[in-house]
């Protein structure tokens, strides 16, 4: 029995890769998953999107190297985006790492380590997993991420993803549907579709945007009470066909994650994003008109090169006026290898921090206002964690259909007896609200 540890950093798409690699390892005899301190083999799936991600990866590598110095028999395998970005430079800096496996070779990882040949393995043939690959879920058993495509067609000026992950590769509809069936059969109640941009799905394989067609196929294949959630939709790719599918298919939760990054045309042009924000705004309004009760989530970036105070204030005004149901934000990170790295003028770090804080405060006020309208309402809540205990008694932590795991709001659900269990969906009467949390009792 070979004891292994698997650490995943970064996004949910990385998590899917880790689950597939773990499945491949377990069928090859690596069949005891333990903490890094106890493992014979430690696998670190990395992120290198921005500098803080690289720093987290490097901190983990140093930690694992310290463990190896205590036990020289331990093997360290670093894989994923950090390897793809820094390549031999990383290998020369951290010589105690045994294997460096790039993005395009990770599904060959069992063969690579079985060869016993230490080194850097990058590969040049981008691939994507299929429903026939073994996969071990690491999420709670009632929800799972399903990657429908890999790579990206877009060339945003601030983003390294196309260089790291390669061009768009869509999975066939039949493969996605079969994996969804398998997940549902295993007890998954919420299937979260992910890709760098879901709306690009099918452009390579079918020569047209095919997300709507995929959703209809999933709707026919899955039970009516299974949730399908969509993460990462480029706004320019949301067409009438997709809007109709989201509005009509009962399994698709009325929640769309549409990263905008900014609202000022000049900044968007420098970002190499969509050309007409006015058209995008109209599309968002159409989504609200056609999908009653939809929750729109977005992400904005502050501090992009050339962003002046006037630009930021226009963004701030838009956030206050449009009232997104969910929103995230981050500060621009100047990354060597991106086009935006060459742009001037740079925004000072202290200005970025001030703008970020102001934007999040504006959204907090929006969220408080939105959540106050929920007081006294009965909402369906998916129980993610529990039972937990406090002086008031047993409770669960859960989410509404308007909330994705990890990134959105949560609901504290007081159990008051009954046979509640994690993964169950229950009606909850909301008794208290705040900006990012709700509280209620099971009916």
Cis (ω within 30 of 0) for the bond into 375?
Answer: no
d(CA 355, CA 264): 15
d(CA 328, CA 300): 7
Q: Edge-to-edge strands of the sheet including 75-80?
A: 32-33, 3-8, 41-46, 75-80, 99-101, 119-121
Q: Is 54 marked within a binding site?
A: no
Residues in the chain: 443
Report the relative pairing of strands 378-390 and 425-433 from DSSP bridges. Answer: antiparallel
Q: Is 290 marked within a binding site?
A: no
Q: Is 159 marked within a binding site?
A: yes
Helix (H, G, I), strand (E, B) or coil at 282: helix
SS3 content of the chain, % helix, strand, coil (to 5): 40, 25, 40
d(CA 144, CA 342): 39
Provide the terminal-to-terminal Cα distance of the chain, rounded to the nearest Å.
Answer: 48
Q: Residue 152 pairs with which residues in a beta bridge?
A: none
Alpha-carbon torsion 191, 185, 127, 31, what sign? positive
d(CA 442, CA 426): 7
H or E element that contains 21: helix 12-26
Q: Which residue in 419, 408, 410, 414 sits closest to 431, CA to CA?
A: 414
> What are the phi and psi torsion angles at 174 (to 5°)?
-60, -40
What are the angstrom distances between the C-alpha of 392 and each of 150, 386, 387, 389? 46, 14, 13, 8
What is the Rg, in whole angstroms, of the alpha carbon atoms belonging to the chain? 22
> What are the phi and psi torsion angles at 365 (to 5°)?
-65, -40
CA 30 and chain centroid, separation: 27
- CA angle 106/108/113 to nearest 5° reads 95
With tokens 């086009």, the residue in question is 339
Q: Residue 442 pairs with which residues in a beta bridge?
A: 428
Residue list, annotated binding site for [4Fe-4S] cluster: 11, 47, 81, 152, 156, 159
Residue list, annotated binding site: 11, 47, 81, 152, 156, 159
């Amino acid at each position: 029995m070979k004891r292994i540890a698997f650490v995943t950093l970064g996004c949910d798409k990385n998590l899917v890769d880790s689950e597939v690699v773990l499945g491949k390892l377990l069928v090859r005899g690596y069949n005891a998953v333990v903490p890094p301190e106890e493992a014979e083999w430690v696998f670190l799936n990395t992120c290198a999107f921005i500098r803080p991600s690289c720093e987290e990866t490097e901190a983990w590598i140093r930690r694992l190297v310290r463990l190896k110095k205590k036990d020289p028999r331990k093997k360290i395998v670093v894989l994923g985006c950090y390897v793809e970005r820094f390549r031999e430079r990383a290998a020369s800096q951290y010589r105690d790492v045994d294997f460096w496996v790039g993005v395009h070779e990770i599904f060959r990882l069992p063969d690579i380590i079985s060869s016993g040949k230490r080194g850097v393995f990058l590969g040049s043939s981008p691939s994507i997993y299929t429903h026939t690959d073994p996969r071990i879920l690491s999420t709670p058993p009632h929800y799972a991420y399903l990657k429908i495509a890999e790579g990206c067609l877009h060339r945003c000026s601030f983003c390294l993803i196309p260089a790291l992950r390669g061009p768009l590769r869509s999975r066939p509809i039949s493969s996605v549907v079969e994996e969804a069936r398998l997940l549902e059969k295993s007890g998954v109640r919420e299937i979260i579709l992910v890709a760098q941009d879901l709306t690009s799905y099918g452009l390579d394989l079918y020569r047209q945007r095919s997300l709507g067609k995929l959703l209809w196929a999933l709707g026919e294949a899955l039970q009516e009470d299974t949730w399908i959630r969509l993460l990462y939709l480029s706004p320019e790719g949301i067409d009438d066909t997709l809007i109709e599918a989201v509005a009509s298919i009962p399994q698709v939760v009325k929640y769309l994650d549409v990263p905008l990054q900014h609202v000022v045309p000049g900044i968007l042009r420098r970002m190499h994003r969509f050309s007409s924000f006015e058209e995008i705004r109209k599309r968002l309004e159409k989504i609200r008109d056609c999908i009653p009760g939809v929750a729109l989530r977005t992400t904005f970036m502050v501090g992009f090169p050339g962003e002046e105070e006037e630009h930021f204030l226009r963004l701030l005004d838009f956030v206050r006026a449009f009232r997104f149901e969910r929103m995230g934000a981050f500060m621009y990170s100047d990354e060597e290898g991106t086009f935006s790295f060459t742009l001037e003028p740079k925004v000072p770090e202290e200005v970025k921090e001030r703008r970020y804080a102001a934007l999040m405060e504006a959204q907090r006020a929006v969220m408080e206002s939105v959540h106050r309208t929920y007081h006294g309402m009965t909402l369906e809540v998916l129980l993610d964690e529990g039972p937990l205990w406090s002086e008031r008694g047993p409770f669960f932590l859960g989410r509404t259909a308007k909330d994705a795991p990890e990134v959105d709001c949560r609901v504290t659900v007081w159990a008051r007896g009954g046979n509640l269990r994690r993964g169950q969906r229950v009606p909850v009467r909301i008794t208290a609200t705040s900006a990012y949390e709700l509280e209620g009792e099971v009916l």
